[in-house]
Amino acid sequence: MTTSKRIVSVILSVAMVASVSTVFAGAVNTEEREKAQEIVSAVTDNALKEDLSVSEIQKDVKALEERMIDTDSISVYDINEDGHVVYAYILDEDIATVYVDTWEGTEGDTYLRLKEEEHINVFCFKPDGSIYLNGAKVEVQTTSGMVADQAAFGNGSGGIEPMAGMYSSFYLNPLPNTTFSSYTGAQTLYDSTALTNLANTLSAIGVAGAVVLVTNAWGGLVAKIGQSIFNSVITSAMQQLVSKAPNARGITFTDYRKAHPNNNSTSMRFRHDVKSVPNTGMAVTKYYYEDRYPT
């Protein structure tokens, strides 16, 4: 190939990559804009509606989704004195409405303020992935692996080698024809995240603040099992922990996987035990279920 042809080839390759990236970004932006338009359309206060900008709401939608806020559960509440749109956020029907606003810092930081009854928390998410809560950096440690009994249960699948191309679905209730106690395999695979050196106690942070903190710190598990399942598990745990361990300033969350005895190479079922251990007070364990099958 001549030099001129190589140059043309490189230019075409770069153009193709740029084109694909633009198409993908355009699709994402379209979804965000449609969501923003839905949010604005739902506002019934005409005076408030006139002060809203779809493009600004779209920026907020992007920021909130990146910070693990379910934008299907928000609505415009007001515009505060800082000029930020304040959203009413329904995290759970058993929790008081949470009021949220977000803005960008001068160094690429994203700020998120949550108000849940008397609890007010300001999060700062840095470009390097670090998280600050009310001005203090949150120490986050993540680990994963297998527990000591791995020899008995091999790869954590109940001693069965799974076939390639398996797909997992996740549920809050036991899978069909199983019960909670059906999953008799030893605890094998685990995924753990520890939050330490919290500036405030759990009782001061409140349920919504704690859920947002954990969801953003444990992003790998959220991506794996889905935000809806994760939020349900962690919200339920936090509702108990805030009352059982009100003075805790650190928590370790560990997701253990237990196999069903009837697992085979083409069908596998697991119960996941998510254990939340505060540095003071009582631990809480919540559960979800995994169904693995060929794609």
Token pair 């992007």: residue: 62
Most confident of 9-13, 23-27, 83-87, 222-226: 83-87
Strand-pair partners of 141: 194
pLDDT at 163 (0 to 100): 53
Which range, of 38-47, 159-168, 269-278, averages the lowest pLDDT? 159-168
Q: How far apart are CA 140 and CA 133, in angstroms?
A: 12
Q: Residue 16 pLDDT more than 70?
A: no
Q: What is the DSSP string of 26-72?
A: HHHHHHHHHHHHHHHHT---HHHHHT--HHHHHHHHHHHHHTT--GG
Output 4 or 207, whichever has higher pLDDT.
207
Q: Note the pLDDT of residue 266.
A: 84
Band of residue 144 on the pLDDT scale cut at 50, 70, 90: confident
d(CA 255, CA 227): 15
Percent of the chain with pLDDT over 90: 63
- Close Cβ partners of 241 (under 8 Å, ≥ 6 residues apart): 202, 210, 248, 251, 276, 278, 281, 284
In tens, the pLDDT along 194-221 reads 999 898 999 999 999 999 999 999 988 8
Contact (Cβ atoms closer than 8 angstroms) between residue 238 and residue 214: yes
Q: Give this prediction's pTM.
A: 0.80
> What local confidence, expressed as pLDDT, does residue 199 receive?
87
Specify the pLDDT at position 4.
Answer: 46
How does DSSP assign 74-128, residue by residue? EEEEEE-TTSPEEEEE-S-TTSPPEEEEEEE-TTS-EEEEEEETTEEEEEEE-TT
pLDDT score at 28: 53
pLDDT above 70 (res 13): no
Cα 294 to Cα 62, 157, 163, 164, distances in angstroms: 34, 14, 8, 8
Reference 262, options 175, 140, 164, 190; nearest CA is 175
Task: Name, in order, each residue with C-beta under 8 angstroms of 195's C-beta and a sequence gap of 6 or more.
Answer: 138, 139, 140, 213, 214, 217, 250, 251, 252, 253
- Least confident interval from 147-156, 179-188, 192-201, 249-258: 147-156
Label residue 177 left, alpha or beta by phi (over 0 means left) and psi (-120 to 50 means alpha): left
Whether pLDDT at 238 is above 60 = yes
- State pLDDT tens for residues 59-97: 999 999 999 999 999 999 999 999 999 999 999 888 889
pLDDT band at 5 (very low <50, low <70, confident <90, very high): very low
pLDDT, tens digit, for every residue of 150-164?
Answer: 433 334 444 455 556
